[in-house]
């Protein structure tokens, strides 16, 4: 069976972007970006909603033409371009860059993909991830906690009525002060 992994940078107070949807607070140096790259390389596919897909295609397909791109950024651009991407959207007309558009039931599609042995997927974006969290499909949560408080913005977790048990699998502190937390979902027996 594959795994669905929800992974994002998050402020200490739990936000993934500011109220104006800015990501200018994220501290991604070469050490952290290299770690992101290793994690991305291990994925079978990336899952996005419309907003996250548009954010990614706005830069990564042309990163090699950016004179300020670091070696780790260029490595990620190659990983991102080569990996399959599944985009869940009812408003997009088409997708490019090794991407497939899914308009049907996202939960059903991810459950089907997750049933494939070794098919690990990374879901980016809190709104898309919330759909899979509610459906009980997320197997791991990987948070990159940045040493700052945003005060408001888009939360990593959407409100829920029930609890999700987690087991800590790994932690790591980067030189930038970012702390990586990796949790596995604890599923009820039976």
Structural domain boundaries of the chain? 4-186
Mean pLDDT, the chain, rounded, equals 95
The pLDDT of residue 161 is 84
Q: For residue 148, which of 32, 16, 52 has the smallest C-alpha distance?
A: 16
The pLDDT of residue 190 is 64
Confidence band, pLDDT 50/70/90 cuts, at residue 137: very high
pLDDT for 61 beyond 70: yes
pLDDT for 9 beyond 70: yes
Q: For residue 20, which of 158, 155, 152 has the smallest C-alpha distance?
A: 152
The pLDDT of residue 189 is 76
Strands 179-186, 140-146: pairing is antiparallel
The pLDDT of residue 160 is 85
The pLDDT of residue 104 is 87
Write out 88-148 in H/E/C secondary structure: ECCCCCCCCCCEEEECCCHHHHHHHHHCCCCCCEEEECHHHHHHHHHCCCCCEEEEEEECC
The pLDDT of residue 7 is 97
The pLDDT of residue 162 is 87
Q: Token pair of 36, please?
A: 């992101």
At the second CATH level, the architecture of 4-186 is 3-Layer(aba) Sandwich (3.40)
88-135 residue pLDDT tens: 999 999 999 999 999 989 999 999 999 999 999 999 889 999 999 999
User: Cβ–Cβ contacts within 10 Å for residue 164, how many?
Assistant: 14
The pLDDT of residue 166 is 97
The pLDDT of residue 175 is 97
User: Cβ–Cβ contacts within 10 Å for residue 147, how many?
Assistant: 11
21-56 residue pLDDT tens: 999 999 899 999 999 999 999 999 999 999 999 999
Q: Token pair of 60, please?
A: 């990564």
173-182 residue pLDDT tens: 999 999 999 9
The pLDDT of residue 63 is 96
């Amino acid at each position: 069976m594959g795994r669905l992994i929800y992974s994002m940078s998050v402020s200490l107070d739990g936000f993934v972007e500011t109220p104006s949807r800015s990501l200018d607070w994220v501290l991604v140096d070469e050490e952290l970006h290299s770690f992101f790259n290793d994690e991305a390389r291990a994925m079978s596919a990336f899952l996005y909603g419309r907003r996250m897909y548009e954010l990614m295609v706005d830069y990564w397909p042309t990163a090699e033409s950016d004179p300020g791109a670091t070696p780790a950024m260029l490595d990620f651009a190659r990983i991102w371009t080569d990996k399959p991407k599944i985009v869940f959207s009812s408003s997009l007309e088409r997708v490019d860059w090794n991407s497939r558009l899914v308009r049907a039931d996202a939960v059903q599609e991810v459950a089907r993909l997750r049933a494939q042995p070794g098919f690990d997927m990374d879901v980016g974006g809190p709104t898309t991830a919330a759909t899979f969290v509610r459906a009980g499909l997320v197997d791991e949560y990987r948070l990159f906690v940045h040493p700052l408080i945003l005060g408001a913005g888009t939360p990593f977790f959407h409100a829920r009525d029930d609890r999700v048990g987690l087991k800590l699998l790994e932690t790591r502190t980067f030189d930038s002060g970012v702390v990586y937390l990796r949790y596995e979902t604890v599923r009820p027996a039976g």
